[in-house]
Amino acid sequence: MKRINIIILLLLSFLLLAGCMKKEERFVPQTMADLRGHTVAVNSGTTQEKIARMVTEKENVQCLPGGLDALVALDAGQSDVALIERANMFSDDFHRLALEEAFTDSTTQEPLATAMRRDDVALLQEFTNFFDSLDVTGGLEEIKSRWLNPNLTDNQKKVVIRQKDVPTRGKRVLHIGSDYSYPPYTITVNNEKTGYEIELWQRFCMTHGYGLVCDVYSFDALLPALMSKRIDIIAAGMSITPDREAKVSFAPADDYSVTSVLIRKEGNKGNRGFFESVKDGFDRSLVQQDRWEMIVDGFWVTMWIFFGSLVLGVLLGAILSYMQMSRHRTLVLMANAYISLMRNIPILVLLLVMYYIILAGTGLSAMMVAIIASAMNFGAYIAVMFTTGIKAVDNGQKEAGLALGLTPFQTFIYIIAPQAARHIIPVFQGEAISLLKGTSIVGYISIVDLTKASDLIRNASFEAFFPLIFTAVIYFCLCWLLGKSLDILLKKISK
Amino acid sequence: MITIKNLSKTYKMPDGSQLEVLKNIDCHIAKGDVISIIGPSGTGKSTFLRCLNGIDPATSGEIIFGGMNILDKNTKLNKVRQKMGMVFQSFNLFDHMTVLENVSFGPIRILGMNKTEADEKSRELLRMVGLEDKADVMPRNLSGGQKQRVAIARSLSMNPDCILFDEPTSALDPTMVGEVLHVIRQLAQQGMTMLIVTHEMIFARDVSTRVLFMCEGGIYEEGTPEQIFSNPQKTATRNFIGSIRQSR
Ligand SMILES: Nc1ncnc2c1ncn2[C@@H]1O[C@H](COP(=O)(O)OP(=O)(O)OP(=O)(O)O)[C@@H](O)[C@H]1O
Ligand SMILES: [Mg+2]
């Protein structure tokens, strides 16, 4: 036991060290042509991705799916340069990174705007009118002076409308989807979802008496979510491209993406001591803006989904196992078909199918969908476990129970089940731990669980190390505790 | 006490064919009878016992026990079995319970006796079978003979009107057969009604009031131990008794 603790400690400190080591080589490009032959980090789906694909070789483009992960990748020494939207830099969080702009490139410009479904003509019309009047009254100018101002970098000063100021109910409830990770358009400040594009829609909803609900999706999931009517608006600093225009309609655009080419500053992190950088990372990712609260909220969401699908899954598994052992061939066949279906579909695909297709029109919350999908999958494994566990109990035990005068049901409860449990619990332990770890994919359907919370923190603080390690440690402790408690249960029933 | 009329049992085989194991058995068992059932392997002795308490449902006929027809769909079989104990060749003690719990389980769960009373009664039964000191041991730590004696005590714990024994000593080392037979002899002296499938001919001869010789799914010949063992009337019976004599 002692030795295991030491090994874990060693591993953790190794990770800590690795997280603080940076590539020292520095590359300073002057023009876009210099980028050829160098690795370029970009955020997926942005104008910059397109540019990178033009200026450097395919294999040198590192396309990162989350918010501003390109910055984190550059800072971590994963690439030579990063191409980002110039406005992304207008924040303190950016200035804390030891990164700087090599040059600005304005050869390729694309307009940015929020998007709606094409058939939602009324919404587009209303928003366009609102936007125009905002422009006329000078309101738009004021909003831009906060969010799109290179000299105002304190994000907390930019927020004037809080989420709680905007009702979530009204004549119509609009769902606004975003990754809240693309400043200044959409961002998380003090655990609040805000940003330039978000504020525009908040104001729109307040004037029209509409409710506004903020849903978290990764950038790639936004278009599918809009198409399947899970959300009504995409606000993610999305650039207007012909491809996208064919599918959605964009709000009036008055902002253009300008590309900045970023590099690491001289001696990036090299001049900071190990403990200093650990302390700084800890501070930025957990302490500042009370970001740890997101972890706590995410923790509870993970717990809800885990226990919900555990209970539902066990119930489902019991029913399936009963069907498998029934004398009716059709029931057996149905159960077996269901089990093989569930065992051969990746849980993530199942989750997306349930969310976007099967349960799309039911109005069930994403949380319920996640619990149902996890339970559907878990139930199949539980059923197999129950069936094999029960069949492993000698038939003589059942006959002895019946011969004593028990009903078949009593025989099951008092004689078979306790003996089957001894076969089942060790396997159950592994499955329950898999279930808990498996909940980490629910971020795909707009749920902010533990994993997604660490994503959001990483994107808001540009600090990859701490949120991830912290989350890993929490998962480890949870799974360990779960395993231990089942161990104790097993010891109790097998005296 | 038990009246069996025209009892038949057919197994459906996986290939669809039918296997007739019991053929039109008629038999009456009176209170206090100790009946030994002997016969060659595969003639349906076990099946006969299992039909009596309904663990294997009979195909047709009638079994009347304590005024209830066991083959009637409305009969509560668990009630029947509470009064008709069974002891298995392979003991079938409840593996997850101690010896004492095995014996007290029925009285507590089924008869609703309180635990102290049930424990006291169970210890008494264990004393009777000579295993009082094993009360808190798990069944896996017992010898075969000890297991079978616990199984008999468990069966007695329900105060049954009769007990069915299916080859109670066949799975035992020869050294342990005696201790189990001793317990059964004791029960016979106390007037317990019993049906015993056995290959222990000397024991059968001593203890039974009546012997049934089963052959090819029917009761081929029956009579007092004297009649069956010393003076069998039919050829098959004679051959069977003769073969056993020779092997001794
Ligand atoms: N569940 C079953 N399904 C099909 N056939 C069975 C089943 N149980 C028993 N049989 C068949 O019924 C016949 C009688 O079996 P049974 O066990 O009653 O014989 P037995 O007289 O007890 O034999 P032994 O002395 O070997 O115990 C055998 O041919 C056996 O193969
Ligand atoms: Mg048999």
SS3 A30: coil
Residue A20's pLDDT is 56
- Rounded Cα distance, B211 and B204, in Å: 8
B94: left (phi over 0), alpha (psi -120 to 50) or beta: beta
HSE-CB for A90 with a 13 A CA cutoff: 25
What single letter denotes the amino acid at residue A52? A
Residue A272's pLDDT is 54
Reported as type and span, the H/E element at residue A113 is strand A99-117
Ligand 1 centre distance from Cα of residue B39 (Å): 13
Q: Residues A39-48: what's their mean pLDDT?
A: 89
Residue A92's pLDDT is 80
A495/B110 Cβ within 8 A: no
Give the whole-number percent of chain A exceeding pLDDT 70.
95
Measured in angstroms, the CA of A192 and the nearest CA of chain B are apart by: 56
Measured in angstroms, the CA of A393 and the nearest CA of chain B are apart by: 10
Binning pLDDT at 50, 70 and 90, where does residue A215 land? very high
- Rounded Cα distance, A250 and A242, in Å: 11
Binning pLDDT at 50, 70 and 90, where does residue A270 land? very low
For residue A186, report the phi and psi dihedrals to the nearest 5 degrees.
-150, 130
Binning pLDDT at 50, 70 and 90, where does residue A469 land? confident
Greatest Cα pair distance, chain A, in angstroms, is 90
A376 to each of A354, A451, A477, how far by Cα in Å?
10, 22, 26
Rounded to 10 deg, the angle between the B115-128 and B144-156 helix axes is 130
Binning pLDDT at 50, 70 and 90, where does residue A25 land? low
Residues 6+ apart with CB under 8 A from A283: none
Q: Which atom of ligand 1 is nearest to the CA of B199?
A: 25
Q: Can you tell me the ipTM of this complex?
A: 0.94
Domains of chain A and any CATH numbers: 111-256 (3.40.190.10), 290-494 (1.10.3720.10)
A319, with CB counted inside 10 A (0-12, 13-18, 19+), is middle
Ligand 1 centre distance from Cα of residue B42 (Å): 5
Q: Which of B217, B167, B155, B157 is nearest to B196 (CA)?
A: B167
For residue A233, report the phi and psi dihedrals to the nearest 5 degrees.
-140, 140
- Rounded Cα distance, A27 and A24, in Å: 10
Q: How far apart are the first and last CA of chain A?
A: 23
Q: Which of B91-105, B140-154, B228-242 has the lowest mean pLDDT?
A: B228-242
Reported as type and span, the H/E element at residue A47 is helix A47-55
B93/A410 Cβ within 8 A: no
Q: Residues B206-226: what's their mean pLDDT?
A: 91
Asked whether the predicted pLDDT for residue A278 surpasses 80, the reply is no
Q: Which of A358, A405, A361, A148 is nearest to B86 (CA)?
A: A405
SS3 A357: helix
String of DSSP letters for B218-229: EEEEEE-HIIII
Residues 6+ apart with CB under 8 A from A261: A29, A32, A35, A81, A82, A83, A101, A102, A103, A104, A105
The residue ranking higher by pLDDT, A495 or A258, is A258
The CA radius of gyration of chain B, in Å to the nearest whole number, is: 18
Using a CB-CB cut-off of 8 Å, the residues of chain B touching A399 are: 55, 88, 92
Residue B25's pLDDT is 92
Q: Which ligand is nearest to the CA of B213?
A: 1
Counting every residue written for chain A, the total comes to 495
CB count within 10 Å of CB A18 equals: 9
Q: Which ligand is nearest to the CA of B47?
A: 1
Ligand 2 centre distance from Cα of residue A340 (Å): 40
Q: Are A146 and A168 in contact (CB under 8 A)?
A: no
A403/B55 Cβ within 8 A: yes
Residue A220's pLDDT is 86
B106/A397 Cβ within 8 A: no
Residue B241's pLDDT is 86
A171, with CB counted inside 10 A (0-12, 13-18, 19+), is exposed
Asked whether the predicted pLDDT for residue A274 surpasses 90, the reply is no
- Rounded Cα distance, B171 and B168, in Å: 7
Q: Which of A262-266, B40-44, B203-207 has the lowest mean pLDDT?
A: A262-266
Q: What are residue A30's DSSP bridge partners?
A: none
Helix residue ranges per DSSP H, chain B: 45-52, 77-83, 99-105, 115-128, 144-156, 174-189, 201-207, 225, 235-247
Q: Are A468 and A236 in contact (CB under 8 A)?
A: no
Between B78, B94, B109, which is nearest A400 by CB?
A: B94
* DSSP label of B110: I
Does residue A184 have a cis bond before it (omega within 30 degrees)? yes
- For testing the chain B interface, which of A393, A404, A407 should be mutated: the one with the most B CBs within 10 Å? A404
A432-465 residue pLDDT tens = 999 999 999 999 898 999 999 988 888 777 777 7
Name the average pLDDT for chain B.
91
B85-128 residue pLDDT tens = 999 999 999 999 999 999 999 999 999 999 999 999 999 999 99
Q: Which of A402, A411, A408 is nearest to B86 (CA)?
A: A402
Q: What are residue A187's DSSP bridge partners?
A: A194
Residue A268's pLDDT is 66
CB distance B198 to ligand 1 below 6 Å:
no
Ligand 2 centre distance from Cα of residue B213 (Å): 14
Q: Which of A182, A242, A218, A178 is nearest to A50 (CA)?
A: A242
SS3 A446: coil
- Residue whose CA is closest, atom 29 of ligand 1? B42
B86/A403 Cβ within 8 A: yes
Q: Are B154 and B172 in contact (CB under 8 A)?
A: no
